[in-house]
Amino acid sequence: MKRAGELELALAERPPGISLQRWLCGELRAAILSGRIAPGGRLPSTRDFARQQGVSRGTVLAAYEQLIAEGYLAGTTGSGTCVVPNLPVAPPLADTTPPPAAPPRLSRLGRLLADSPFASREGRTTARPFSPNQPDLQAFPRAVWHRLSSRHSRTIRADDLGYAEPAGDPLLRRAIAEHLRYAQRIACTADNVMIVGSAQQALDLCARLLLDAGDGALVEDPGYPGAARLFALSGATVHGVPVDAAGMRTDALPPGRLAYVTAAHQSPLGGTMPVDRRLALLAWAEAQDALIVEDDYDGEYRFDGAPLPAMKSLDRHGRVLYLGTFSKLLFPALRLAYAVVPDWLVEPFAAALSLTCRHQSLFQQGVLAAFIDEGHFARHLRQMRQRYGERAAAFEQACRAQLAGLLQVAPITTGLDATALLPAASDDRAVVAALAQWGIETRPIAFYRLQQPAPPGLVMGFSSFGEPAIRRGIAAMRPVLETLLG
């Protein structure tokens, strides 16, 4: 009697490097999914199939068992091996139509998330004058880091490889708290320090922990777009608050639950917020039951005196979250930053971290803790403060000598970047595009604009370029600016 399933399957040739069984399973799956063996169809006996395909019976048996485990085949004693009867081999899977043209839609939030201000294909390239927000990577003590890193990886115990506290390595948190108590006069303990992968991650959590739809979120305008975009995700109403040479203006603050300020070095206009505005903003937060996020991305680099104490040092009622990042102080690829959160926010923040990421890589945290504890961090900051100060002076001087009347640079007191104002009514995006054609990288103030008018100008990094490169770069700008603005 001829068996119902007496089919002789034409199988594709076995590719090199693929085992017989793997090949056989793959061919059978494809035959079932494409409908060449119909649901319910009976397969040849292992003996027959082995003979047809010229393989051993054991190989066929193992393939059948694998496909039974995967639910393609059902084996019943006596009646042989069948394709599972009701297998839903739907036409869309059985034919070869291409995917539908319209991809699934994103959520409202998803469309906002997909509109990131950061490059999605940022490559590893050497920074060119005057690309902003770049510490001098050449100056980082890689040999020291290697030594600490190697020592750390050599001494890791098995118990160090498991899950750890969401808030981070206790040694690193203690080292950061000690540094901040001294350098920023922030009265905090290690418990207040939350280790995150980046300032962005901390801002994202702040927005989600604090903002309901319709709540006010105050940002500097012009200001850092990476913060405003995240606050908008919560459905909050983002208020762009005007900025002048002394940072965010505090004379007419709208209501809100969160305010974001770069008090030490306003991004992008460069001002330092004086104490009267700091106190006014703190009083606003108290009256509004709001949180202030103080993003101190490069305030440790203060050239004309000691770094100013953080606004957080004035915070008596747990209204300020202080944010720092090692991306600017050490190097971006490290991906470690920290938030000093008020006592009442410690548990919610740690819980939110545990739910959305568990915790950061322990390895780099351990190396960084040693780097701080053994004095390398303080030494590096000291050296970079000196170096960046010299470059700031060279940059200012070159601008005055070469670009007077074209570009107006305020005295640089802080940070990695200078802001240079263009003549009123010029188009800073066009200037940036023209400079880029001559190999000069700058960023327009327009990039930072939200709702308020902003003066046209360029944000220019000086910190990662030597003085000759700075002078050459500034000299190269002159003909371009003269042509555009003349």
Q: Which of 6, 286, 374, 482 binds a copy of itself (CB under 8 A)?
A: 286
Q: What angle do CA 10, 16, 21 make, to 5 degrees?
A: 60
Which residue, 1 or 306, has its beta carbon nearer to a copy of itself?
Answer: 306
Q: Is 382 in the site for a copy of itself (CB under 8 A)?
A: no
Cα gap 379→387, rounded to integer Å: 12
Least Cβ distance, residue 335 to a copy of itself (angstroms): 4
Contact 309, 336 (CB under 8 A): no
Least Cβ distance, residue 479 to a copy of itself (angstroms): 30
Q: Which of 47, 75, 93, 374 binds a copy of itself (CB under 8 A)?
A: 93
Contact 405, 207 (CB under 8 A): no
Burial of 448 (0-12, 13-18, 19+ CB in 10 A): buried
Which residue, 342 or 457, has its beta carbon nearer to a copy of itself?
Answer: 342
- 415: region left, alpha or beta (phi > 0 left; psi from -120 to 50 alpha): left
Binding to a copy of itself in span 412-471, by CB under 8 A: 413
Which residue, 372 or 403, has its beta carbon nearer to a copy of itself?
Answer: 372
Least Cβ distance, residue 127 to a copy of itself (angstroms): 7
Least Cβ distance, residue 65 to a copy of itself (angstroms): 7
Q: Which of 3, 142, 382, 429 binds a copy of itself (CB under 8 A)?
A: 142
Q: Which of 43, 87, 186, 470 binds a copy of itself (CB under 8 A)?
A: 87
Angle between helices 362-373 and 142-154 (to 10 degrees): 120
> Which of these segments, 40-48, 53-61, 280-288, 422-430, binds a copy of itself (CB under 8 A)?
280-288
| Helix residue ranges, H only, 161-274 | 170-183, 199-210, 225-233
Cα gap 481→486, rounded to integer Å: 7
3-state helix, strand, coil in the chain (%, to 5): 45, 15, 40
Q: Is 188 in the site for a copy of itself (CB under 8 A)?
A: no
Q: 3-state secondary structure string, 108-151?
A: HHHHHHCCCCCCCCCCCCCCCCECCCCCCHHHCCHHHHHHHHHH
Q: Is 28 in the site for a copy of itself (CB under 8 A)?
A: no
In b/e form, how buried is each residue of 102-113, taking b as 16+ CB within 10 angstroms?
A: eeeeeeeeeebe
Cα gap 318→291, rounded to integer Å: 8
Q: Is 122 in the site for a copy of itself (CB under 8 A)?
A: yes
Least Cβ distance, residue 162 to a copy of itself (angstroms): 5
Binding to a copy of itself in span 317-356, by CB under 8 A: 317-319, 327, 331-336, 342, 344-345, 347-348, 350-352, 354-356
Which residue, 280 or 480, has its beta carbon nearer to a copy of itself?
Answer: 280
Q: Is 40 in the site for a copy of itself (CB under 8 A)?
A: no
Least Cβ distance, residue 90 to a copy of itself (angstroms): 5
